[in-house]
Amino acid sequence: MRKFVETVGFIVFAQGAAGLLYEWTGWFRLWALVTRLDFLDDYGLFVNIVLVVTGAAVMISADAIRT
């Protein structure tokens, strides 16, 4: 279970980082899923920052899970 939570946290973190790179440089359009959601057009930068913070928090909190 611990590895699963760490993997989910890493995927969320990677999506946020790829979205930030896309917002700033125009790269990683394939990886950034937030850019494909039409209702988040105006909030892309904010959503990607939230994804980075959430992914980091999930990866850190995975240490609290006992096996």
Cβ atoms of 16 and 41 within 8 Å: the answer is: no
Record the pTM. Answer: 0.86
Instruction: List, as one string, the DSSP characters of 5-42.
Output: HHHHHHHHHHHHHHHHHHHHHS--TTT-SGGG-GGGGG
- 67 band by pLDDT with thresholds 50, 70 and 90: low
pLDDT digits (tens, 9 = 90+) for 11-63: 999 999 999 998 899 887 777 788 888 888 889 899 999 999 999 999 999 98
Ordered by start, the domain boundaries in the chain are: 2-64
Residue 64's SS3 state is helix
Residue 32: per-residue pLDDT: 79
